[in-house]
């Protein structure tokens, strides 16, 4: 069997309970009575109990703490739980959960151990869950507690895991997910000079020699630039590697001709391939933009 892809959606088959319960972070907690949901999920748009004309209608309540500022909806507390198993093909890999957004305060447990606490509902965050996971083939339990209380916003926010969740799997040594930056130093019809910085992490237990290869592919699928850099890194070390890439006669991006170049970034350790990251990028006269796809 092939190993899992580097980044995959983690949205399906969660169990949800609206309210607070004791010991819901425990792996042995029985959540069979909870409601099954797929993410993204917002409990504040769900109908409230005890509907009463002119007071409680659907998800709206005149007694909402946030009032009209939060759309007369109700926050409170909620719990999410999900079971997952690491496949044998992914044994020994680093596993990371990427939450695009949870409103508002959230606590993350893996197999009963608290792995993270986030206090701001608008920020995305990543959690390295590798130290808390069981060996491949065994069941893991993730539990997420969410609190959205008080008048804490000037507009409707929703409550719960309101954006996507992703599972990211890498080798112990890897290209950092938010560690690649691209800018244009100069550009005209004849030539573009691109500055690319990428960060790699040595997560192995020993020193290693790491090589980053970059292949830049044109919108027509032709490799227009190839470069690499090699560094020695001790265990646990993080290193940012700069590159200067020259592209002859670049095809400039515009709304009429949305030309897209692809930067394929691969990491090798002692001449063995670790992982690859793909960055679609585009050139224009006035700005240089890129979209990151992992």
What is the distance, to the nearest Å, from the Cα of residue 110 to the centroid of all Cα atoms in its chain? 17
CA distance 149 to 121: 12
pLDDT tens across the length of the chain (294 residues) = 355 688 999 999 999 999 999 999 999 999 999 999 999 999 999 999 999 998 999 999 999 998 888 889 999 999 999 999 999 999 999 999 999 999 999 999 999 999 999 999 999 999 999 999 999 999 999 999 999 998 888 889 999 999 999 999 999 999 998 899 998 888 888 999 999 999 999 999 999 999 999 999 998 899 999 999 999 999 999 999 999 999 999 988 888 888 888 898 999 987 676 655 555 444 433 333 333 332
pTM: 0.86
Question: For the stretch 183-202, what's the b/e string if a residue is b when 16 or more beta carbons lie within 10 angstroms of its beta carbon?
Answer: ebeebeeeebebebebbbbb
């Amino acid at each position: 069997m092939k190993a899992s892809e580097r980044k995959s959606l983690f949205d399906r088959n969660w169990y949800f309970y609206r309210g607070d319960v004791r010991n819901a972070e425990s792996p042995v907690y029985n959540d069979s009575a909870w409601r099954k949901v797929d993410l993204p999920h917002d409990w504040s748009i769900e109908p409230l109990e005890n509907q009463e004309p002119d007071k409680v209608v659907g998800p709206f309540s005149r007694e909402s703490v946030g009032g009209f500022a939060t759309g007369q909806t109700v926050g409170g507390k909620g719990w999410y739980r999900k079971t997952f198993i690491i496949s044998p093909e992914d044994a020994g890999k680093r596993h990371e959960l990427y939450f695009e957004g949870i409103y508002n305060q959230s606590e993350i447990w893996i197999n009963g151990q608290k792995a993270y606490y986030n206090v701001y509902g608008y920020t995305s965050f990543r959690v390295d869950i590798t130290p808390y996971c069981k060996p491949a083939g065994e069941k893991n339990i993730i539990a997420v507690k969410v609190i959205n209380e008080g008048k804490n916003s000037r507009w409707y926010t929703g409550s719960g895991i309101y954006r996507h969740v992703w599972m990211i799997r890498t080798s112990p040594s890897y290209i950092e997910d938010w560690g690649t930056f691209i800018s244009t130093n100069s550009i005209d019809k004849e030539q573009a000079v691109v500055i690319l910085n990428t960060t790699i992490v040595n997560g192995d237990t020993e020193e290693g020699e790491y090589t980053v290869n970059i292949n830049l592919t044109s919108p027509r699928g032709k490799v227009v630039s190839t470069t690499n850099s090699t560094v020695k890194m001790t265990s646990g070390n993080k290193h940012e590697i700069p590159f200067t890439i020259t592209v002859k006669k670049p095809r400039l991006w515009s709304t009429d001709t949305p030309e897209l170049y692809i930067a394929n970034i691969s990491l090798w350790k002692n001449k063995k391939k670790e992982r690859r990251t793909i960055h679609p990028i585009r050139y224009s006269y006035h700005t240089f933009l890129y979209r990151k796809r992992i």
